[in-house]
Amino acid sequence: MVPLFGGLAIGGAAAGFFYSQSSSNAEKASKALARAQAAENKANAFEKYWPRNIMILFGAPGAGKGTQAPGIVDALDIPQLSTGDIMRGVDKASPLGVKLNSYMSAGKLVPDSLVVDIISERLKKPDCKNGFILDGFPRTLNQAKALDSMLKETGERVNSIMAFEVPDSVLEERICGRWIHKKSGRSYHVKFAPPKAMKLGPDGKPDKASMVDDATGEALYQRADDTATALKQRLKSYHKETVPILGHYSTAGIVHKINANQDIKVVTAEVRKGMVNKA
């Protein structure tokens, strides 16, 4: 049977035309539905995690923050901000940039007040409108109190802290085998999570040329202080200066302690649970 249009029988090329149009319209409708579904999923995510998510990642070197952070970023659609990246992104010609350079060029410690001012400016950018994840700040109790004061000016507060806990005795093996992708922060480990391209040399150690990121193929690197000797000092500093921050925020009920000394999938499940159950 030939198709009918306006009470007339339509056949041949005309029928093919209308079939093509109908198929095209169905394809457009399908794509529109997919876009609408994606938008709804994102809206649901914001509703689930609202109000604006201000999260801090805590954990000793090698605790697994770098492994879990990309998943948190994807789930919440908010940026992960490390202190180092923020500092490097400061316009050197700006007033804050000039101040920052005056300290760094003289080899002096950047005061907390200036660090907070720089972070405050970064948080005004559009990508932070729905929230942000701080990684590497605050490092001391004084910095935490300064952050609280800054957020209070806009009627906000830290509302979620992920504290990754791993025994010190486990961290050395993790740290000394860690390789990182600089741009994304993705973390690999020669034993626990090696990159797909990794090859071992005659000495049993990874061939540096084969240590590349799975997603981009770009070279990975090891931090200069990812050594057993440096780790001891870093852990000493972490326990003395950073751990007390968890006590500062614990009374607010926003600290989610994650047992990071277990299978990655189990750790991820704990992280997701912590993201939903925020104050």
Active site residues: 65, 139, 178, 223, 234
SS3 sequence, the chain?
CCCEECCEECCHHHHHHHHHHHHHHHHHHHHHHHHHHHHHHHHHHHHHHCCCEEEEEEECCCCCHHHHHHHHHHHHCCCEEEHHHHHHCCCCCCHHHHHHHHHHHCCCCCCHHHHHHHHHHHCCCHHHCCEEEEECCCCCHHHHHHHHHHHHCCCCCCCEEEEEECCHHHHHHHHHCEEECCCCCCEEECCCECCCCCCECCCCCECHHHCECCCCCCECECCCCCCHHHHHHHHHHHHHHHHHHHHHHHCCCCEEEEECCCCHHHHHHHHHHHHHCCC
